[in-house]
Amino acid sequence: MADAKIKVQVEGNQVLEVVVSDKRLDGIWIVLGEGVHNVKCKLTPTRNSLAYAGSIMGREIIYKRSVEEVKADIAREEHESYQFR
């Protein structure tokens, strides 16, 4: 996944665009910030599987896509990566 970005919601309804370093059904690894000042976080599915949540430095971060939607995204990305041009 080269420079894939997603929008996450932070406390106070602030929306941030973050870089995805790895995306799987059991968790999405994101990177907040750039260079030596970056912070990594793992977003895990919520109990009802309607979103992914995690925390960075005590702040809650939410990615409002269900596990099924992320599963479809992963399948689409894998399909696109195997197509020859």
What does the DSSP assignment read for 5-26?
A: EEEEEETTTEEEEEEEEEEETT
Q: What is the pLDDT of residues 18-41, one digit of tens each?
A: 999 999 999 999 999 888 999 999
Q: What is the pLDDT of residues 63-76, one digit of tens each?
A: 999 999 999 999 98
Residue among 35, 34, 31 at smallest CA distance from 43: 31
Residue 16: φ, ψ to 5°: -120, 145
Mean pLDDT of the chain: 90
